[in-house]
Amino acid sequence: MDNRVIFHVDVNSAFLSWEAAKRVAEGLPDLRLVPSAIGGDPNSRTSIISAKSIPAKKYGITTGESVSSALRKCPGLIVVRGDFGLYRRCSKAFMTICREYTPTVQQFSIDECFMDMTGMENFYPDPVAAAHELKDRIFCELGFTVNVGVGPNKLLAKMASDFEKPDKVHTLWADEIPAKMWPLPVGELFMVGKQSAEKLRKNYIRTIGDLAARSELSLKMLLGDKAGEYAYRASHGIDESPVTEEWEDEKSFSHSVTLEEDVRNTADAKNILLSIADHVSRRMRRDGARAYCVGVTIRDNYFHDRSHQKKLDVATDISTDIYKVACTLFDELWDGHTPLRLLNISLSDVTRDEIQQMSLIPGEDEKRDKSRKADQAMDAILEKYGSGSIKRASQ
């Protein structure tokens, strides 16, 4: 185990906390104290809950469920539309404070980061006290709470920050692994996915401690070489990955919609696919990226998934391009009558190269340019006025 000191800072219920902090500053009631959630249009069955308050959680409301379902569980639920402009400003503000404690800060997502505090002993001799100071300062200056995990590497710091929430500092040092990490369910080990966790449970590996007791060879035979090696090392708290100052670019983008009512006809399915294509391509454009590969996944009401993907000759960030490919893939996947409960579009093989390949088809570049300008105009309106402020005529 190395002798580094790493912090992982994670905003508690970020989207809801940021909206609540803004409202409190305006003299409005605190959303965190009442059943509330961040979501879309309550009248649209494609709208989902993206964040919820602790009081809302007591009603059984979960992230990812439809807004209409959440309202049935709690008719008094306050649903606020997402405001991504606000989220980016809040993210930048708390990252700025973190960078005052160390120059080496790696933004891991919009609401979390790693901080390398190694060598900062002259300024902060007690890392736990420094973590408390950082946590309290973010709350005092910005109005929202964070959890801070402290450990000797990124893995253990991340695991520590996921302990009891909100507004906490937790440590996970090497000598604390048996008591604090090994009793946890195996599915809570960072980067162990649902399928791997289920496979491990079926082989009587139910806790991280059970995982640590297995040999690396047996885990490779069970999970494959790469996943098995990771599971073995992670269960022992081994992680040499550095904290890099750059925010690691997303390698793919995807968006799923779980439907309140099963889809039973092509027109409804493709209308929902259009909404998904608009949403996921807007996220990609915001990140300055384009994709060479479009994938579609469908799930029927028996929870059977089917997926297809297609490689493109030219990388695109245009919603209509992505939608047309998605429709073709959907037609290949669906039998036309089995009820569907989930639709997903994924964009991968991402590039951020500013040089774009020109088409050999006459007029194609002009057509793309018009579509791109239309997307940019929609993005600007949605950015300013929020979700649902503009829709395509077909929707």
197-214 residue pLDDT tens:
899 999 999 999 999 999
Q: What is the model's pLDDT at position 2?
A: 59
Report the chain's C-alpha Rg in angstroms.
23
2 in Cβ contact with 35 (< 8 Å): no
Which of the two residues, 262 and 379, has the higher pLDDT score? 262
Give the single-character DSSP code of 144. Answer: -
pLDDT digits (tens, 9 = 90+) for 285-326: 888 888 999 999 998 887 788 999 999 988 999 999 999 999
Condensed to tens digits (0 to 9), the pLDDT of residues 218-276 reads: 999 999 999 899 999 999 999 999 998 755 556 778 887 777 678 899 998 998 899 88
Average confidence (pLDDT) over 107-115: 91
Is the Cβ–Cβ distance between 211 and 231 less than 8 Å?
yes
* One-letter amino acid of 9: V
Predicted local distance difference test score (pLDDT) of residue 37: 92
What CA–CA distance (Å, rounded) separates 30 from 24?
6
Quote the tokens at residue 361: 């088809």
pLDDT higher than 60, residue 277: yes
Question: What is the pLDDT, as a whole number, of residue 389?
Answer: 45
pTM of the complete model: 0.66
Say if residue 24's pLDDT is above 90.
yes
Give the Å distances, CA to CA, from 74 to 17, 64, 156, 264, 281.
20, 16, 37, 28, 32
Residues with catalytic roles? 112
pLDDT at 69: 86
> What value does the mean pLDDT take over residues 23-50?
83
Q: Using 50, 70 and 90 to split pLDDT, how confident is the model at 331? A: very high
Banded pLDDT at 395 (limits 50, 70, 90): low
Backbone conformation region of residue 187, classed left if phi is above 0, alpha if psi is from -120 to 50, else beta: alpha
Residues 6+ apart with CB under 8 A from 166: 12, 13, 54, 145, 147
Q: Which residue(s) pair with 345 in the sheet?
A: 255, 296
